[in-house]
Structures are given as C-alpha cells and as structure tokens.
Structure 1
Amino acid sequence: MFDDISSSALRVAVSGLAARQNAIANNIANIETPGYRARKVAFEDALHGAVTRGESPAGVTPTTLTSLEPTRLNGNNVNLDQETLSHIDTTMRYQLTLRALDSKYSMLRDAIKGA
C-alpha cells in the first residue's frame, strides 16, 4: 500500500531535495573558503528513468557532484546568486512534494475511515 511507485517516488524526491538543500547551505557557508568547490545534488534524471521503466524508485539515491564552474582567484567557485535561486527553487519543489505526499496519505486515511 505504501510501496506503490508514486509514494516511493515522492519519498525519493523529498530525500533528494533535502540533500540538495543541505548542499546549498554548505555552499553558502563556504562562500569565502579558499579552494572550496560548490556541490550539486542530482537525482531527478535517475528518478524519472526508474519511473518511466516501471521500476521501483526506492533504489534511486541522490548523487552529490562537485561543480566544474570556473573558480575565482582563491579557487572557490560558489556563486551566491545561483545558490540563492537554487535554494528558492528547491524549497518550492520540497513544499510541493510534501503537499503531494500529504494529499496521498489523506486519501488513504479517508479510505480507512470510510469517509
């Protein structure tokens, strides 16, 4: 009941988005750290592929990659504007995903209650 593809995909999305928020926070915290390379989290393509193939998305895990963007003189490549936009986008996606999960569980709750 809780292991259907949509529930599993939503749980993976929440996990991936949380990992991305953590990477963004680390990037911003290290904006002045010499030699620090920004981290990026990817999971959407793997999740989409699993769902498209009809496979369980439960096996999809977020991948943290090091940004290959050009660096400043101190070797740091964190771009505050880019991180801010990514934070806003990720927060909105996270909230939408949580609402979808909440709606799914509300329907199950109503079905169990017989409402």
Structure 2
Amino acid sequence: MPDSFRAHLSFNAAALGLREQRGAALASNIANAATPGFKARDIDFDAALQAQIGGGALRTSDARHFSSAAPGAGQPGYRVPTAPSLDGNTVELAVEQMEFAENSLRYQTSLALLNRRISGLMTAIKGE
C-alpha cells in the first residue's frame, strides 16, 4: 500500500475517532445542562488531531529549548462560558447544540470521504 494512501487512511481514521470523542463530550454537556455546578468540557479538535498524527509540536533537542506544544493538547478542557449561571453550571445550551450539530456534520463528511476513497480503491482493484 503506498505511503500516501496509508497516511490518508490514518488521518481520516484519527479524525473520525476524535470526532466521536468530541461528540460524546458535547452530548454529556447537553445532558447536564441543568446540573448545578457542572463544568462544560470540550476537545480542541485541531490540537488533538495534530498531536495524534504527529504533526504538532516541534521536537526539542535540549532542555533549554522552548516547547511549541500547548500543554495538554488533545485533552478535554473546560469551556469558558460567556454568561455563567448563578448555580455554577457553565453549559450554554445554544452553544453546545451548535457545536454538536457542527461536529456531527463534520463526522459524516469525514466518513463519506473515507468511504469514497475506499470504494475508489476497490473499483481500481476489481478493474472496473
């Protein structure tokens, strides 16, 4: 299998996995919108994808070098609310629903692209 094809498949597989994790975090936020003291969490998709595929931070060769990676890149972090509630809950339902819808659409798009790539490869293998 050519390296470019393998890289393309691994990139899309990583993207699908991260989209699934982000969808679960957003769904948890929506489910806990009325829970006092609940802190909304989210995943920085771009930073997580860069960390997972290895294109993120520059490597350092000396302890005195600065790291270009954001601390905790790819880990779920707390969302900063624009209008916090009095009970300490940081979930903003409209924001969470919008982010969930966008994440779902991007998940479906990534899955469709991966399916087209695989079906094109299958067509080439069959010689049709």
* Matching residue of 1:57: none
Percent identical pairs in the alignment equals 32
Instruction: Summarize the alignment of residues 9-88 of structure 1 with structure 2, pairs less than 5 Å apart.
Output: 9-48=11-50, 50=53, 62-69=74-81, 71-88=84-101
Bigger CA radius of gyration: 2
* Matching residue of 1:56: none
Q: Distance in 1 between matches of 2:117 and 2:37?
A: 44
How far off is 1:26 after superposition? 0.3
1:100 paired with 2:113, answer yes
Gaps of 5+ in 1: 54-60
Moved more, 2-11 or 94-103: 2-11
Q: Which has the higher helix share?
A: 1
- Helix, strand or coil for the counterpart of 2:76? strand
How far off is 1:87 after superposition? 1.2
Segments ≥4 residues shifted beyond 6 Å: none
Aligned residues, how many? 108
Alpha carbons 2:16, 2:111 under 8 Å: kept: yes
How far off is 1:73 after superposition? 0.9
The TM-score, its normalising length taken from structure 2, stands at 0.73
Give, as a single letter, the amino acid of the residue that structure 2 aligns with 1:65. G
Gaps of 5+ in 2: 57-72
Give, as a single letter, the amino acid of the residue that structure 2 aligns with 1:11. A
* 2:124 paired residue among 106, 111, 115: 111
